[in-house]
Amino acid sequence: MRKHVVAIVGRPNVGKSMLFNRIIGERLSIVEDEPGVTRDRIYAKTDWLDHQFNIIDTGGIEIVDDDKIINQIRMQAQIAIDEADVIVFVVDGTMGITSSDQEVAKLLYRSNKPIVLAVNKIDNPEMLNNTIEFYSLGFGDPVGVSSVHGIGIGDLLDAVTDHFSNIELNSYDEDVIRVAVIGRPNVGKSSLINSILGEDRVIVSDIAGTTRDAIDTPFEADDQRYVLIDTAGIRKRGKVYEKIEKYSVLRAMSAIENADVCLIVIDGAQGIIEQDKKIAGYAHEAGRACIFIVNKWDLVEKDDKTYDRMTKEIHEQFIFMDYAPVVFLSALTKKRLHTLLPMVKFAAEQHNLRIETHLLNECLRDAMAIFPPPTDKGRRLKIYYMTQVSVKPPSFVIFVNDQELLHFSYERFIINKLRERFNFEATPIKFFVRQKT
C-alpha cells in the first residue's frame, strides 16, 4: 500500500520550508528570508504517531507575476497539489490575509482536496487572536503554528492525519504479486508492460521521460493475479532537466516501496551505465525481490558467447545483487517474453519464503562444520542459533557470544549457505546479529 502524500503550499515567504524542516526534523529545505528561494518541490518521508507519509515542500505560488521562474514555481506547486492527498495551506499570521493568499485559496478550492490551514509565525499565545481573521478563507478552523519555535506542530499534524482515514489508497490482496517496472528513461519500460499485457495500455514514445506517473495495471495470467506498476524513467539527479521529472522520481520510489518484485530494465543495445546501478540500488536497499531485464536484445549483435558475457558483466557490475536472475528479451518482438512471468512468480515466492527454525539450524551447523567460526585475538566466535523473524524480504536473527567477532565475510558465508540450501534466489536477505548473554 502506498503512503499518503501531504503538500505544503502558500504564497512566497510565509515560512513553508521552515515548517517542512520542522515536521521532518532536519534542515532539508533551504530557508532564506527571500521570496522564491524554494523553486522546486522537495520530498521527504516522515511520520506522526502511527502514520507514515511523504511530504512535499513547494515553491511559493505567485499568481499575478508573469515572470518565467514564477511560472515554473507555480507549475511545480500545481503538480504537488495534484499529487497530494492532503494540502497544508500556509499563511503569515503577522500580515493578515493578502490578495495573494486569496488567489492561492481560489486555486485550492478547485483541487477538491482536504485543506488544513496553518497560520504561521504565531510565536506566543498572545498572537493566537491573529488566526481569527483567516476563518474567512473558508477552510475551517485555522491552526496557529510557529515553525521557528515548534509551537502548534502537533496540532497541525493531528489535523492532517485525521483526514487519512477518509482517503482510500490502492491496496491489493495478499495473493496479488505487485511488480514495479523501473529503470532510467527510454529503456523500454512501457513497451515491456504493453507486451506483457498484449495491448497498448501505457503510452509508448521514443522521447525519454514520456511516462509521468506510476500507473497500476491489474491483470491475471495462468491463475496468478498481478499488478504491474509502470514508472517514469529515473534520471541521474544532476541531469534532471525537466522539472516534472523530479516528481516522477518520487512516484518511482513509491512504486519500489509498494512492490513485491522489481523488474530492473536495462538497455541491452546501449549496455550498463552508472545510473543503472543507482536505480538497482534503490530496489535492493528497499529489500525487494529483483530481476534484471535486458531489453532490446533483438538489437544486439550476438555470437555464441554474448549471453554468457552479458550475464557475467551484470553480476560483476551489480556485485551487491548477485542473487538477482537475468532475463534477456525484446519487448518489441516479444522474443523470450514467455520466460518473464514464471520468473516473476518464482521471485515473489522466494521473497515470501519462510524456513522452519530446526532446518535453519541444521544448515548453520553444516556451515560451521565446513568452515568453523573464526578467532580474533584468542577469542573464538560462538554461534548459538538462528531464527527467521520476517519475510518480504526473508530476515534472520543470529545469536552469538560477541557481535564484534562476527566478521562481515563470515556473515556472507552463512548467507551463501542459506541460499544454496533453500534456493533463496531473486531476493535479498536481511541479517541481524544479537549478542546472547
3-state secondary structure 106-124: HHHHCCCCCEEEEEECCCC
State yes or no: 233 annotated in a binding site: yes
CA distances from 291 to 97, 102, 257 (A): 54, 50, 16
How many CB atoms are closer than 10 A to CB 14? 29
Q: Is 48 annotated as contributing to ligand binding?
A: no
Q: Check whether 373 is labelled as a binding-site residue.
A: no
194 is in an annotated binding site: no
d(CA 350, CA 338): 20
**40 among annotated binding-site residues:** no
122 belongs to an annotated ligand binding site: yes
Distance (Å, rounded) from C-alpha 237 to C-alpha 216? 25
Task: Check the annotation: does 433 bind a ligand.
Answer: no
Q: Does 10 carry a binding-site annotation?
A: yes
198 is in an annotated binding site: no
Check whether 99 is labelled as a binding-site residue: no
The answer to whether 190 is annotated as binding is yes
Beta strands in 329-436 (DSSP E): 375-376, 379-380, 383-390, 395-400, 430-435
According to DSSP, the β-strands at 177-182 and 224-230 are parallel
186: annotated binding-site residue?
Answer: yes
DSSP string, 299-322: GS---TTHHHHHHHHHHHHTGGGT
Is residue 230 annotated as involved in ligand binding? yes
Sort 205 into a burial class: Cβ within 10 Å, 0-12 / 13-18 / 19+.
exposed
The answer to whether the annotation marks 256 as part of a ligand binding site is no
170 is in an annotated binding site: no
Q: Is 355 annotated as a binding residue?
A: no
232 among annotated binding-site residues: yes
* DSSP code string of 243-300: THHHHHHHHHHHHHHH-SEEEEEEETTT---HHHHHHHHHHHHTT-EEEEEEE-GGGS
Does the annotation place 185 within a ligand binding site?
Answer: yes
Residue 63 marked in a binding site: no
Residue 56 marked ligand-binding? no
Annotation-wise, does 25 bind a ligand?
A: no
Residue 30 marked in a binding site:
no
**Is 60 a known ligand-binding residue?**
yes
DSSP 8-state secondary structure symbol assigned to residue 239: G
Q: Per the annotation, does 71 bind a ligand?
A: no
* 29 marked ligand binding residue: no
Cell of 162: 485525521
- Residue 260 is labelled as binding a ligand: no
Residue ranges for the known binding site are 10-17, 57-61, 120-123, 183-190, 230-234, 295-298
Residue ranges for the known binding site for GTP are 10-17, 57-61, 120-123, 183-190, 230-234, 295-298
